Structure 1
Amino acid sequence: MATIFEQGLPKTVANHVPLSPLTFIERSASIYPDYPAVVHGSTLRTWGETWSRCRQLASALEKRGIQPGQTVAAMLPNIPAMFEAHFGVPLAGCVLNTLNIRLDAEAISYMLEHGEAKAILVDPEFADVIQQAVTKLKHKPLIIDVADSEFLGETQGIGEIEYEALLNEGNADFAYQLPADEWDAISLNYTSGTTGKPKGVVYHHRGAYLNAVSNIMEWAMPHHPIYLWTLPMFHCNGWCFPWTIAANAGVNVCLRRVDPKKDYAANCRGEGHSLQRGADYS
């Protein structure tokens, strides 16, 4: 029997929306557009700039024929493009599959095939592995080269287009849509296959939202934290910290790899940006 509280009190757009971590970056970019969001080498981008780039990525993927519900993979270290993919890919309604950069071509090929990847973002450091992996696939994904300015090795382009050129195809005012159902998939992750074939694990928007907020509560995290990326973003989507830092309007300090000697030397020389928690960047 229905109670009085079940009568005339339906869910409406005024009192209910599906939970999605995509709302975090929209809010931070709206309230703190001039606050730093991403630092990588000599690159510093604000939340307003990062939000625009994420929408450009979503728009460009759509223009390239990538449909909602399809998979976009990423073979990237902790660089700005990896952070942007955590928002740009799902803003297009797609599912982000972050690949373990330590695996071989056979394992990566299996993941791309099993996850039905339609596109893949590739850092030049892993171009050889991806090139080998793709040759094993029946259906070849769109390969997007990501030319990271901090990569010091030889750059081998294997893709159809470079990441920045792809963004230029997109619209910064892209009319994205949040998921109609918070149970919709936002990301796909795989185990390393140590006990057989890799196992796929799916995050939905609700789960990613709740985990991201839980990180803030568990860490008693202050507003505008400065977060150094040593945990790989490919690992369980960095335990949802890309979305956590967006929720808290923090600073993502990107790092291709953890190299204590190199990092210590750079700090001694005073390289990089000076960031102060709580500073007024407006």
Structure 2
Amino acid sequence: MTKYDQGLEQNEANYEALTPISFLERSATLYPDYPATQHGEESRSWSEVHCRCIQVASALSKRGIETGDTVATMLPNIPEMLELHFAVPMSGAVLNAINTRLDAATIAFILDHAEAKVLFTDREFCQVVLEAVAQLDRELLVVDVDDPLFQDGELIGSLDYETLIAEGDEDFIAVRPADEWDAISLNYTSGTTGDPKGVVYHHRGAYLNAANNALTWEMGMHPRYLWTLPMFHCNGWCFPWTLAAVAGVTVCLRHVRDEAVFETFLKNDVTHFCGAPVVLNT
């Protein structure tokens, strides 16, 4: 033991578990009126996004979701997908963002293996989700996100996202991880042999990777990021959390199509996007 081991023990005054939840709280406090999401003509500020996340977390808690439970999504790159990257862990649960290109059998396997208790989905994936849920031998709460920019397909859930938000309390206190190594998300492999393999991210890793994105990309404050990368892909390389760290704008894009990409670029003054070869060749 040295002198540096005495009187310097970890306590509430000198230590807090790293979690990207803190990025959202900071942006909502320092930049409440700055835009956080842009989807078509609809924009929401960081204070609005924070409030919605609090209410979703509260509503999930009221419905019995507890620390360590799994909440899954089958969603495109829309504002609600960004919100769930915060709302789910703010309830203490673990986010499982499922690859929307998978078949019903694979989705069913993931839902079962992850022991998901809630699934957020979208009209576009109604058929494959119905087929997947039918293969489960237990109840699953399905919540529809009704995107006004995509009205093909059916609403198949027992309630919709906005109704769930209305169930939540605005003064709910977000659940913080007891340990920064607590799980924040669960992702699965795809395109490999055998069944999908689950990979767990912890709060510490998500926080550090999100911060590293901002540093290595030299994003600065208030970038305008176009979502060409699926948010289900490794949690969008942690950029949902990065954008909260730098109070940036999530510019949503449901489908990567050449005309839509160029139009969105020009209309929204996009500064950053992930340019995988398949995107650049579009």
TM-score by length of 2: 0.93
> Given residue 79 of structure 2, which amino acid in structure 1 is its aligned partner?
P
1:60 aligns with 2:33: no
RMSD after superposition: 1.7
Q: Which residue number in structure 2 is paired with residue 80 of structure 1? A: 79
| Residue number in structure 1 paired with 2:146 | 147
Once the 2 structures are TM-superposed, how far is the Cα of residue 175 of structure 1 from its aligned partner? Answer: 1.2
Deviation beyond 2 Å, 4+ runs, structure 1: 261-267, 272-277
Aligned to 1:204: 202
Tell me the SS of whatever aligns to 1:140.
Answer: coil
Q: Residue 172 of structure 2 aligns with which residue?
A: 174
The residue type equivalent to 1:78 in the other structure is N
Equivalenced residue count is 272
Residue 66 of structure 1: how far off its partner (Å): 1.3
Q: Per-residue CA shift, 1:2-30, capped at 9, x if unaligned?
A: 11100111111111001001000000000
Amino acid at match of 2:137: K
The residue that corresponds to 1:247 in the other structure is 245
Q: Is the 8 A contact 1:193 1:199 kept in 2?
A: no
Partner of 1:120, secondary structure, is strand
Match of 1:161 in 2: 159
Distance 2:264 2:247 in 1: 26
Q: Which residue of 1 aligns with 2:280?
A: none
Any idea what the Cα deviations from partners look like across 1:256-280, whole Å, max 9, x if unmatched?
011112444677xx8x557899xxx
Q: Which amino acid aligns with 1:243?
A: W
Q: Which residue pairs with 1:225 in the alignment?
A: 223
**SS at structure 2 position matched to 1:84:** helix
Q: Which amino acid aligns with 2:95?
A: L
Confirm or deny: 8 A CA contact 2:225 2:271 kept in the other structure. Answer: no
Structure 2: any 5+ residue segments left out of the alignment? 273-282
Counterparts in 2 of 1:207 and 1:263: CA distance versus 1, 3 Å? closer
Give deviations 1:86-140, integer Å, cap 9, x for gaps: 0000000000000000000000000000000000000110011111001111112
Query: Which residues in structure 2 correspond to 1:129-144 (within 5 Å)?
Result: 129-144=128-143
8 Å contact from structure 2 (residues 181, 204) kept in 1: yes
Give the drift of 1:171. Answer: 1.2
Q: Could you tell me whether the CA contact under 8 Å between 2:123 and 2:151 is conserved in 1? A: no
Give the SS at the match of 1:33: coil
Distance 1:189 1:93, change over 3 A: same
CA displacement, residues 241-267 of structure 1 (integer Å, 9 cap, x when unaligned): 000010000011011011112444677
Choose between structure 1 and 2 for higher RCO, CA contacts under 8 A separated by at least 6 residues: 1
Quote the Cα distance in structure 2 between the aligned partners of 1:259 and 1:274.
18
Identity %: 56
Gap regions ≥5 residues in structure 1: 278-282
Is structure 2 residue 10 aligned with structure 1 residue 8? no
Question: Where do residues 112-127 of structure 1 align in structure 2 (5 Å cutoff)?
Answer: 112-127=111-126
Residue equivalent to 1:192: 190
Distance change >3 Å, CA 273–CA 171, structure 1 → 2: farther
Shift of 1:158: 1.1
User: Does the C-alpha gap of structure 1 residues 107 and 3 become closer, same or farther in structure 2, counting only changes over 3 Å?
Assistant: same
Deviations 1:51-81 (A, max 9, x none): 0000011001011111211000000000011
Q: Normalising by the residue count of structure 1, what TM-score does the alignment of the two structures yield? A: 0.93
Q: What does the per-residue CA deviation read over 1:135-189, in whole Å, with 9 as the maximum and x for residues that have no partner?
A: 11111210001100111423x1211100111101111221112111001000000
Alignment map for 1:44-59 (pairs within 5 Å): 44-59=43-58
- Local SS of the residue matching 1:15: coil
Tell me: CA distance 1:266–1:95, structure 2 relative to 1, closer, same or farther (3 Å): closer
Q: Which amino acid aligns with 1:31?
A: L
The structure-2 alpha-carbon separation of the partners of 1:14 and 1:245, relative to structure 1 and needing over 3 Å to count, comes to: same
Query: Which shifted more, 166-175 or 183-192?
Result: 166-175
Distance in 2 (CA, whole Å) between partners of 1:193 and 1:26 is: 36
